[in-house]
Amino acid sequence: MTPHRKSLALFCVPLLIVSTLQAETLTLSKKFVQDNKNRATIDLKLELDAHLNTPHKVGAGGDDGDVHMAGRSDQVRLPMVAEIINAGIADKPVKDSIGLMKATPDGATIDASGVWRIWFEHPSKGTQIQGKKVPVPANTNPDHVFEIHPITKFGGFDIADASFVHILGKSKNDSCSYHAYPAAKAFGEYENQKATISVTSTSVSITAKKVGFNYAEFLLDPVGKSKPGTDGIFVLADVFDVSDPETPMTSSPRRMVFVSGTKPADALKELEKNKGGPLHVLGIPRVNLAEVAQVSGTQTDVPLPYEMIVVAVLADDEAQFCPSK
């Protein structure tokens, strides 16, 4: 059943202290924005420069079970990282992918695909300009605002099935799972983030301050019909905290990104077929380039346009949370 909505006049999210962090400016080519604004994923040749040898632990915050790698790509032309979700589980394609990553010499190129993600989580102190020469990263987590997260294919191995389920781990005695940020906390941050967007005939610049809250747990209730894209399904949805399925967490519906052929995409199709809702999901934020593309002018101050990549549909009886370090 669709939850009863309280009047938007009652809408509220936690008030946040205005950040004093230095802003980062990301300049993208207009063609890149147009080509990818309604795509879920990107295909590229990744020049692999640095990688972790073991995945992160699974718990909360940065203990997210990912394995990070840093590299360069002619298709992106920005400092970037790529991340395998659920890198610690015993899924054979994931193990094969990590084995290939470890065996790849520094600077060698690997075919990779995954969800493109622009987010101001690890900004640099200056400006990142698409097309400018990208330095060889010194470690697996250089200053960056562009990611492939999650990777769906790596060197011929298809790891989408393992990437679009809840982040799983093992405690000493019991199965456990990642503890994501609750919607009230995460969306309170997203909704209060500001940006300045400047547009020229060839480029789009986005200036914003550092923002985190990588993984959020929330309820999404679709508003209207979904729209299929080349490689994904997009739908506007109201957002609710699991503890309060009546009060919207956003000032208006937000666009949700479902990668075609994944379990979350199948769950959305089933929900629409049965006219049900909501979906209990795990998602990660990214800049909404479709909204960015609608901005015109030399300098426009707006709330940071964002959308949510749905990486898992969660069951009501999810396993207990893993202990954090």
pLDDT digits (tens, 9 = 90+) for 219-234: 999 999 999 999 999 9
Lowest mean pLDDT among 3-17, 93-107, 119-133, 202-216: 3-17
| pTM summary value | 0.91
Question: In the chain, what percentage of residues exceed pLDDT 70?
Answer: 90
6: pLDDT strictly greater than 50: no
**What domains are there in the chain, each with its CATH number?**
30-170 (2.40.50), 175-313 (no CATH)
Spatial CB neighbours of 212, under 8 Å, sequence gap ≥ 6: 121, 189
pLDDT value, residue 21: 53
Q: What is the pLDDT of residues 281-304, one digit of tens each?
A: 999 999 999 999 999 888 899 999
Q: Is the peptide bond before 55 cis (omega within 30 degrees of 0)?
A: no
State the pLDDT confidence band at 319, using cuts at 50, 70 and 90: low
Whether 317 shows a pLDDT value over 80: the answer reads: no
Q: Over the chain, what is the mean pLDDT?
A: 89
The listed range with the strongest mean pLDDT (28-32, 64-68, 139-143, 273-277) is 28-32
Residue bearing the bigger pLDDT, 319 or 72: 72
pLDDT of residue 263 exceeding 90, the answer is: yes
pLDDT tens digits, one per residue of 40-72: 999 999 999 999 988 888 889 888 889 999 999
4 has pLDDT over 50: no
**Is a pLDDT exceeding 90 seen at residue 191?**
yes
* pLDDT tens per residue across span 226-260: 999 999 999 999 999 999 999 999 999 999 999 99
Residue 174 scores a pLDDT above 80: no
What does the pLDDT read at residue 124?
A: 86
Q: 139-163: per-residue pLDDT in tens? A: 999 999 999 999 999 999 999 999 9
